[in-house]
Chain A
Amino acid sequence: MRRGIAAGYVASLPELRWAEPKGSYDVVIIGGGGHGLSTAYYLATRHGITDVAVLEADYIASGNTGRNTTIIRANYGLPEAIRFYQHSLEMYRDLEDEVGAAILHQTKGIFWIAHTEMALRTERARAAMNTAAGANTVMVTPAELKELVPQIDLTGGHRYPVLGASHNVEAATARHDRVAWAYAAGAAKRGVHVVQHTPVTGLVRDGDRVVGVQTAKGQISAGLVMSAVGGRVTALAAQAGLRLPIRTHPLHAFVTNDYQQGFPAIVASTELNCYVSQTERGQMLIGAEFDAQPSYSRQSSFAALRSYSHKITRILPFLRDLRVLRTWAGICDISVDFSPIMGFTGVDGFVITTGWGTWGFKAIPAGGEAMAELIATGRTPDLIQAFSLDRFERDHAMADQGSAGTR
């Protein structure tokens, strides 16, 4: 059975042709992660704009796209965010048909567990807000949770009792590198240049306007430059004269060896600050909150590993019998209000999609679609109006308690 899946897995990877950069493009996208590639894909497929280059410093999805825990959910805390992520969740559901490649999408549902009365109230508010804004989130009792996730210890190791949970029924996971590959292949097939191993070293400006990028392979001029950079966005934006409300923190995750019995759902807890799901290969995938101090180091830390293991084994004791197979870290751009920043920057010729913190993977389809529309039409789509960079000046920050990895 596993072998059968694995065979289909490889066969369905579409062919992807890499390009060498030419001297000029209509649109240059910096960053070959999910958001950069999906924007290029939708520019080509929805708007017929194919004179586009996606410049990636390393290999595609080598940054946070390939390092996250692949949870797709819409149970956020603000109506604008819920509508945006719900749209993205629905796009993910149809993505295999759209791109013609298996991305191993699986609808699993996510349980967000409450261990205190206060947290239970928060989860109820979350469910109510989700329902009002169009996401399918319901409350479940501990008994119902036990039925759906039999492995759970409702006493939480006599330390974190389970009082209830909210259930975002449509939550899912998908294979991250396949999502990036599918978008890259789809874009490349339509003439977009996907360029790997080409770090952008600077922006080229003409007065206040951004007119191109400087790369290790020479200067490339562009009608419009989009930054889809993850991690080093503050330094890049500074070259366009922008100062961002962003800090960059590492987030650690790890997988265990194969868990034979199967674990059907995604389980998360805000109070314990961790989340767990099972990968297509049967490994248990565990992530938690980002490090308190900003850093660009992708070194995994023993402290993080110990703290996550300690917490997650309280509610899921079976994890004690598994062994940690692999650990890694990604560096997340955390905006002050825990919401992404998308759109125009006030600098001519330069648009940005950033602040993807710990919530970027689930937003790849909707974020790319919206940014492509913004580039093609010159107008900000309604769906992402609330996420513009100038919201801080307008005093409309989008403080979202529904973001994972945040307190």
Chain B
Amino acid sequence: MTDMTEITGRYLAQIDAAADLDALEGVRLAALGKQGEIALLLKTLGKMTAEERATAGPAINGAREAVANAITAKKAALETATINAQLATETLDMTLPPPPRAAGSIHPVSQVMDELSEIFADLGFSVADGPEIEDDWHNFTALNIPETHPARAMHDTFYFAEKDSQGRDMLLRTHTSPVQIRAMVAQGAPIRIIAPGRTYRSDSDATHTPMFHQVEGLVIDKGIHMGHLKWTLETFLSAYFERDDITLRMRPSYFPFTEPSAEVDVGYKQEKGRRVIGGSGDDAGHGWMEVLGSGMVHPKVIAAAGLDPDEWQGFAFGCGIDRLAMLKYGMDDLRAFFDGDLRWMKHYGFNALQMPTLSGGISA
């Protein structure tokens, strides 16, 4: 009778001692290979009597199973050790920088225009557009600014030598208000639009650039009055500045294209040398700052756009976009808006994914 315990113990010791997968395979062949010691013993079972087999069968099979299991376990251990040794040679300094990527940016003026579109879309305003090279009828005459009107002189207009086919002087629009006329002519009434865009005046100093951006707002409908204007401006400015304490002060003023007309101041607080919008300008440490011109659209303007001023009335307002951007985001130099300085853009610009949305917030 073969001593299975001795055979099992011998192979288990050899398995344990195997230093690598090749040695382990040698042990496996010696024990379980075709001519392996345990494999040959298994073959002897067939020639045994039933009685002999009843005793030897479990012993030989037990040895085979013990050795096979030990080989499997040892193989896994050796493989783990191998891969660990391999990985140990592959260590990287993970503090090293990744390949550089270029980060782009959106100009604050574009961002603010998107913000305005989003806010006013919720109030039912669409965005209208018109040419920047205008004729003097759209820019002045239709807006109740006749040729000799003193207000025309206040506009510091850039002119071209050319006239259009109707003999009208061509100029760079001094405000976005001509879009009012074009939109009313094209769409009729009722209408709710904003019209952001480039505007031009022959003026250049620390706080004025010859090109700047304005946004125009226009509502023409039935029964629209100054109270609707005030609510719209309050609602717009609260949404834009994302503050509940926006306080407006309306002052009577004069624009040829509105009557009654009002300039609109917004209260601010002086904080660390900066103006922070919010609160009443009459409160301690506060002041008023002019941000908007507005009024009820003049009947002559409504008529010039081909609508009946006895049937339709409404309001219009205009506001500097660059200034809105400065007030919200804290730039203090208008000229930098048009300088294309990459350092400024990286500081004040916006990421492509910072889309103003009502759900995510206008300031994204």
Chains A and B belong together in one complex: no
* Contacts from B to A (Cβ < 8 Å): none
* Contacts from A to B (Cβ < 8 Å): none
